[in-house]
A = this chain, B = another copy of it.
């Protein structure tokens, strides 16, 4: 199976981004994997700044950069000529190029031709590997934790990365298993599960998070969507079944009432989300349990947020955190306590 594997260190392409929200992919990579980031490439008009060295393609290559990562999305439906030029220069300087955009770099003939000529790789990380298998549902060695959610964009990737980091800091053998483009660019590895052909959703997760060599190893798998999402629940269910998770962590944005972009759909309750996820998870792992709840409390001030966290913790009797405000230590302690 030809899984994506990006070579570090990276040069992060920030282009003409006006702020870090526009360059959120670059920001994510720089935040979670600073040791892999050699520098940033900013056009003169850029206002976003990752706070790392400014390098042009040639200087980055001289310093050993192995991959140029496209760290922002273009405005509009095409790749700017200046971005294509940058990719071509990177390939010519001996670097690979990686992108999580819907627009594929491998659809640009000049990029493809340059890659062929230079022998460098072009990674469109949303494109899944060929020849994925169907799921087997067979038990496999190792422990797995999956973040699930009440909706899209509630913090499933952030929570998984935070749990992975906390485990590593405690010396627990653990791998982050990304299922979306930003996570893949951060980890340099992964499968964009929502881009897989429907028959292979569960199978792709069995490939992404395979049997561990060590029974105590934890795979921390990034969830997608929500089992109660009217457009994307199929992805979420296939992911849940393929993950065979021992532990679920439910993610939710406190105060969000309507589902993101889904007219007429209320965000489901935490109760319903927990219940349906555990029920469905137990089809492929009868021991699946709730490890905690991660609230995104960014709509509230500190005092309100802490009160909310305490209230939810009281309601569900599991550790409740905001990964940004409180960290995830209490969830990790709960997850590891029986290990």
Contacts and interface: CB of A to CB of B under 8 A. Distances in A.
Given A136-B263, A193-B198, A264-B138, A241 B230 contact: yes
A234 B225 CA distance: 12
Interface in A157-216: 193-199, 201-203
Interface string A215-237: 00000000000011011111111
Interface-centre pick from A202, A230, A241 (highest chain B CB count, 10 A): A230
A316 interface: no
B230 A283 contact: yes
A194 B198 contact: yes
B234 A235 contact: yes
B138 A263 contact: yes
Interface residues of A, number: 38
A199 B235 contact: yes
A262 interface: yes
B234 A201 contact: yes
A112 interface: no
A237 B284 CA distance: 16
Contacts of A202: 230-234
A230 B194 contact: no
Nearest to A137: B230
A61 to B, nearest CB: 35
Interface in A117-149: 134-139
A39 interface: no
Question: How many copies of this chain sit in the oligomeric assembly?
Answer: 2
A238 interface: yes
Nearest to A196: B198
B233 A264 contact: no
Contacts of A238: 198, 233-235
A265 interface: yes
A17 to B, nearest CB: 26
Interface-centre pick from A193, A201, A228, A263 (highest chain B CB count, 10 A): A201
Contacts of A194: 197-199
A241 B233 contact: yes
A238 B199 CA distance: 11
A234 B137 CA distance: 13
Nearest to A234: B238
Nearest to A205: B234
A150 to B, nearest CB: 13
Contacts of A264: 137-139
A136 B280 CA distance: 24
Contacts of A262: 136-137
Given A227-B280, A234-B234, 7 more contacts: A137-B262, A137-B264, A139-B264, A194-B197, A199-B235, A231-B241, A233-B280
22 contacts: A135-B231, A136-B231, A136-B263, A138-B263, A195-B198, A198-B198, A198-B238, A199-B231, A202-B233, A202-B234, A227-B237, A227-B280, A230-B284, A231-B241, A233-B237, A233-B238, A233-B241, A234-B234, A234-B236, A234-B238, A234-B239, A237-B237
Interface of A: 134-139, 193-199, 201-203, 227-228, 230-239, 241, 262-265, 276, 279-280, 283-284
Interchain residue pairs A-B with the least CB separation, the first 7: A234-B238, A137-B230, A135-B231, A201-B234, A234-B234, A194-B199, A237-B237
